[in-house]
Amino acid sequence: MKLSKWLGIKKGQMEETIWSPLSGKVLKLADVPDPVFSSMPPECGIAIDPAAGRVLSPIDGEVVAMLPSKHAVVIRSDSGVELIIHIGLDTVSMKGEGFHAFVRNGDRVTAGQPLIDFSPDLVMRKATSTITPVFIMNPEVVDWLDIQIPDLAQAGITPLMKFRLKRY
């Protein structure tokens, strides 16, 4: 039984935290040098210019999509929020080269668990950028979202977003 159910807390009443999946410089989505990401609503997420090539799970949940190229992963939190981590820009063209996934579709993950290792040097040579957007894919389920934009984030330690779900 989930703790929230045991305590009698209804959906939308409990605040949840999304932790930084990478160490590095934190950016607003509007500052991502790619129109696909920079034109997204700013309240959907952030981006990180990574200092290292290890991606950690930012939240407890389930891997619902590990792309075959391993450059992106979608995690559905236990509360139903879907979060995507898209490593670098134009990295789909790398077809998985330089990426190693530790998880597969359907795997249960906990915050701080390694998801993917990648080579930042190879990404810089073969793609546009290492900048990694991290955003909520289903913002319509979120009632309240507080985005943190510190100068630097530490993977698994720095909180980036806090949210509450809508009440149904």
For 19-41, how does the pLDDT look when each residue is reduced to its tens digit (9 = 90+)?
Answer: 999 999 999 999 999 999 998 88
Q: Are 14 and 164 in contact (CB under 8 A)?
A: yes
- Residue-wise pLDDT tens for the chain (168 aa)? 454 454 344 544 678 999 999 999 999 999 999 999 998 888 899 999 999 999 999 999 999 999 999 999 999 999 999 999 999 999 999 999 999 999 999 999 999 999 999 999 999 999 999 999 999 999 999 999 999 999 999 999 999 999 999 876
Q: Measure the CA–CA gap between 98 and 126, rounded to whole angstroms.
A: 10
Neighbouring CB atoms inside 10 A of 4's CB total: 15
pTM of this prediction?
0.90
Note the pLDDT tens digit of each residue in 102-120: 999 999 999 999 999 999 9
- Amino acid at the residue 166: K
Domains defined along the chain, listed by start? 14-155 (2.70.70.10)
Q: What is the CA radius of gyration of the chain?
A: 15
Q: Are 152 and 52 in contact (CB under 8 A)?
A: no
86 is catalytic: yes
Neighbouring CB atoms inside 10 A of 46's CB total: 24
**Predicted local confidence at residue 143, as pLDDT:** 92
User: Tokens at residue 135, please?
Assistant: 């955003």
Catalytic residue among 66, 72, 85, 86: 86
CA atoms within 13 A on the CB side of 87: 39
**Predicted local confidence at residue 75, as pLDDT:** 99
Q: Measure the CA–CA gap between 132 and 118, rounded to whole angstroms.
A: 12
